[in-house]
Amino acid sequence: MDRSSAEKRVRELHDLLSQYNYEYHVLDKPSVPDVEYDQLLTELKELEEAFPDLQSPDSPTQRVGGAVLDQFKKVTHRSPMLSLGNAFNEADLRSFDRRIRESMGDHVSYICELKIDGLAISLRYEDGLFVQGATRGDGTIGEDITANLRTIRSIPLRLRQPFSIEVRGEAFMPMSSFLALNEEKEKNAEEPFANPRNAAAGSLRQLDPRIAASRNLDIFLYGIGDPGETGVESQSEGLNLLSELGLKTNNERRVCPTIDDVISYVQEWTERRAELSYDIDGIVIKVNSLAQQEELGFTAKSPRWAIAYKFPAEEVVT
């Protein structure tokens, strides 16, 4: 194959493989079997070996970098990654609602999202290209774990539109991967991880990306660092934008106009929690309108417009 037809085919393969990645991880509706994806990936690898200058950082062949780091660089977040105030029962939720309505009047609607039990992450894209990923750290300064995050298949190396945007989410280890990993560890007489959150954190804070690549990690994105520039006006619109850009969001979210709707959602997921393939430790409730979030603002460390309902600690079966 001559170089110009190789160049054309490489572009075609990039488009096909990122479309299939989007269908599989974001839409959860693959249009081709895995074996076809793997064949196209092998074809791309062979073309990049034959024409090394056709290789690019957003190529799906570049997910597992070679270098083992000796430490992580520090990253200062452009806007702080905050923590949430907690609610533990219905009374707490109703007093949250009262406080909001006292400041905002009665035209308030909430959005409920599952609280993923993983590791808070920030991803930065420049003109659509994934350029940096970091842990939350202390909320202002985190660790640069870009090489490890590139190994997560559901994180696109290039967005479907050339946005420059910083997005926040939670990286996690699905229960099936957690159980398999601990089985492996027990077989090698190694200390197993206590829970999927520790396993995800331990995997992403490895200095060797090949170890992170072997841990089948996943991610749900749920926030935009600076939504002002995107023109979205609510959290629910923001989540739809993230999905359109090719980022994985959690579909169980629900707009809840009243606190009674919030309480029904909390009740529903208290009961349905066990059917999920990943751990959640509660529900995040936010005022849906970004303008109202802006008006409510923040306390020293948490937004006034959101609260985390925490599930009661599970009885440990001894």
Q: Which is nearer to ligand 1X7, 48 or 166 (CB)?
A: 166
Residues that bind ligand 1X7 (CB under 6 A): 82-84, 113, 115-116, 120, 170, 222, 284
Q: Which is nearer to ligand 1X7, 116 or 155 (CB)?
A: 116
Report in angstroms how near the CB of residue 296 gets to ligand 1X7 at its nearest.
16
Residue linked to tokens 């005022």: 287
Question: CA–CA separation, 127 vs 217, rounded Å?
Answer: 25
Question: CA–CA separation, 266 vs 282, rounded Å?
Answer: 8
177 half-sphere exposure, CB direction, 13 A CA radius: 19
What are the helix (H) ranges across 3-107? 3-25, 34-50, 90-104
Q: Which is nearer to ligand 1X7, 55 or 195 (CB)?
A: 195
Are the C-beta atoms of residues 65 and 147 closer than 8 Å to each other?
yes
* Diameter of the chain measured on Cα atoms: 70
Report in angstroms how near the CB of residue 207 gets to ligand 1X7 at its nearest.
25
For 288, the token pair is: 């849906």
Report in angstroms how near the CB of residue 200 gets to ligand 1X7 at its nearest.
11
Residue linked to tokens 């075609």: 12
Q: Which is nearer to ligand 1X7, 18 or 135 (CB)?
A: 135
For 117, the token pair is: 């039990």
Q: Which is nearer to ligand 1X7, 155 or 284 (CB)?
A: 284
Report in angstroms how near the CB of residue 270 gets to ligand 1X7 at its nearest.
16
At residue 286, what are phi and psi to the nearest 5 degrees? -130, 150
Angle (CA) 137 178 217, round 5°: 55
Which residues belong to the active site?
115
Report in angstroms how near the CB of residue 6 gets to ligand 1X7 at its nearest.
43
Question: CA–CA separation, 50 vs 41, rounded Å?
Answer: 14
Mention every residue, 6+ apart, whose C-beta is less than 8 A from residue 99.
304
Report in angstroms how near the CB of residue 70 gets to ligand 1X7 at its nearest.
30
- Bridge partners of 141, per DSSP, are 76
Question: What DSSP state is assigned to residue 289?
Answer: B
Mention every residue, 6+ apart, whose C-beta is less than 8 A from residue 104.
287, 292, 295, 296
Q: Which is nearer to ligand 1X7, 160 or 254 (CB)?
A: 254
